[in-house]
Amino acid sequence: MGLESAPSRAPLPGQPQTRVLPHEIFRLAVEAFPNGMVMADESGNILMVNAELERQFGYDRDELLGETVEVLIPERFRARHSHHRETFTRTAKARKMGTGMELFGRRKDGSEFPVEVALNPIQFAERLLIVGAVVDISERKRAERLKDEFVATVSHELRTPMTSLAGSLGLLVGQWSDKMPAPAARLLVIAQSNAQRLVRLINDILDIEKAESGSVAFAFKRIDAVELIEQVIECNRTYATSYNVHVRIESDSDHIEITTDADRLAQIVTNLLSNAIKFSPPDAEVVVTLKRRAGGLRLSVRDWGPGIPDDFKPHVFEKFAQADATNARQKGGTGLGLSIVKQLVDLFGGKVGFSDALDGGTIFFVELPDHEGHRPRILHLDDDQNVLALVRVALSDDADVISVDSLEMARIALQTNQVDLAVLDIAVGNASGLDLMPQLRDATGNIIPVIVFSQVDDLNCDGQIGGSLPKGRTSLDDLVDAVRDRLLPPTTRYIKEVA
């Protein structure tokens, strides 16, 4: 039922009868909307703003009406924004701006603040109008920064003393517990167990922080995966014995060679084993299976636990996730182990998942690529053929370079090639290389990093744009160094083992 046909409410006794018109209701709703709202035409001219947008940007609406939306954008972003606006008017689909990069608004006094922007097109008669919702995320960014700083500080400050404390307690338990009265020895064992638990928690928090920030460095070398898994199982033998659980390995070959990071693979297997052992009943057998696959390795860990409730399955790999429907709380743990596995496997460029096992329990599996002979692949977009040729030669020792001179060719290249980095010129004909950024994601959805190599100066760098190098003032050696630095996280620059 539309607004115009809605029945009017009878007035209370003594009140005059009034009728609120539908357009007045709409105006009140827009004014009361908790986010900033702006309506502009396809040329970017502002037609309407609400009270919240006035408050966010410090303007009176009379100062904004008739101006272009660029007045709300920092000067260094305005050239980029004009290209985004032209692209949006051509596609005219509702979307959220800023995926993979930071957006900022500019107040009347020149100060800036982080924002999220959602755009919706409206076809009115023969005109295309654009409604934007602007959310000030300053407080959210501040809270995230404080949280990250707190976690990093506390974790680093606690790690050294807790490791020392756990080690000292371990020596006492191993060498002198039999010389102590039984009650004292029991208390010592409890203290050691809890100290080790705190060390594991601190290590897990630091590992997840590194993985999320993309600062994990990999040392790739040729290893025997079967031998490595056997070593990991042996290292976890005491933990399995404490739960009265047996662990064994099955493999389709005595030796499976793969080029990977042995320490990170051991960490993945340890976390999967810890989870399987913890939730298996006494006298159960946890089975680790290794199989060769085309271009890599498949590893699975099968437990005999109670299984994963259906309503919890979408949350298995989330941080601090534990299924209340099981006895997870009694089993302890940080709730970070499987999240770390997911983060590391993604950084490897692999795949992780799970399935219900026949006769009960769960099978977690990991598929990892063999990185032998892998070279990073870079997409370079520039409409100057001389620049394309020079950059291709300069980077030839470090990567395979896909050189394209238009946005259309760049999009075609991304459909047929997986790239590790993009080097973009901003001015490419009448378009901007930054228009390509929404498509710069790998097969798992992770953002592909970008280096801007352009005449445009003072470009803001964010999580995706890792550097802005001005042409004419940047040597090819500087570009090579920037590419090498950007390729370090997470998987494309390898630390070679010294023979």
- What average pLDDT is seen over the chain? 81
Q: What is the pLDDT of residue 326?
A: 44
Q: What residue numbers bound the domain in which 153 lies?
A: 140-213
pLDDT, one tens digit per residue, over 119-172 is: 888 888 788 899 999 999 999 888 878 877 777 777 677 777 888 888 888 888
Whether residues 149 and 248 fall in one domain: no
CA–CA distances in Å: residue 362 to residues 272, 275, 316, 329, 336:
11, 11, 12, 18, 18
Rounded CA-CA distance 477/469 in Å is: 12
Q: What is the pLDDT of residue 497?
A: 35
Which pair of tokens denotes residue 451? 């280096």
Please, which pLDDT band fits residue 460 given cuts at 50, 70 and 90? low
- CATH number of 403's domain: 3.40.50.2300
Residue at 148 is within a domain: yes
195's CB contacts (< 8 A; 6+ apart) are: 162, 165, 166, 169
Q: What is the pLDDT of residue 83?
A: 66
Last residue of a domain, one of 169, 188, 213: 213
Q: What is the pLDDT of residue 58?
A: 95
Tell me what the mean pLDDT of segment 306-327 comes to.
76
Is-contact 355 364, C-beta < 8 A? no
Whether residues 346 and 390 fall in one domain: no
pLDDT at 499 exceeding the cut of 70: no
What does DSSP say about strands 362-369 and 377-381: parallel, antiparallel, or unpaired?
unpaired
Tell me what the mean pLDDT of segment 58-83 comes to.
86
pLDDT at 13 exceeding the cut of 70: no
Whether residues 230 and 361 fall in one domain: yes
Rounded CA-CA distance 378/400 in Å is: 6
Whether residues 363 and 467 fall in one domain: no
Please, which pLDDT band fits residue 188 given cuts at 50, 70 and 90? confident
Is-contact 450 175, C-beta < 8 A? no
Last residue of a domain, one of 94, 118, 136: 136
Whether residues 125 and 172 fall in one domain: no
Whether residues 147 and 280 fall in one domain: no
Rounded CA-CA distance 333/329 in Å is: 8
Tell me what the mean pLDDT of segment 308-316 comes to.
89
Whether residues 364 and 227 fall in one domain: yes
pLDDT at 463 exceeding the cut of 60: no
Last residue of a domain, one of 301, 335, 369: 369
Residue at 319 is within a domain: yes
Residue at 261 is within a domain: yes
More confident call, 95 vs 304: 304
The answer to which of 20-34, 83-97, 395-409 has the lowest mean pLDDT is 83-97
pLDDT at 498 exceeding the cut of 50: no
Is-contact 225 253, C-beta < 8 A? no
Q: What is the pLDDT of residue 496?
A: 36
Cβ neighbour number for residue 21 with a 10 Å cutoff = 10
Which one, of 467, 468, 470, lies nearest residue 455 by Cα? 470
**How many folded domains does the chain comprise?**
4
Q: What is the pLDDT of residue 464?
A: 60
Residue at 290 is within a domain: yes
Q: How far apart are the first and last CA of the chain?
A: 77
Which pair of tokens denotes residue 466? 């890792």
Rounded CA-CA distance 321/319 in Å is: 5
- Report how far Cα 490 is from the mean position of its chain's Cα atoms: 12
Residue at 16 is within a domain: no
Whether residues 360 and 232 fall in one domain: yes
Residue at 14 is within a domain: no
Which pair of tokens denotes residue 5? 């046909």
Whether residues 483 and 388 fall in one domain: yes
Whether residues 63 and 127 fall in one domain: yes
Whether residues 127 and 53 fall in one domain: yes
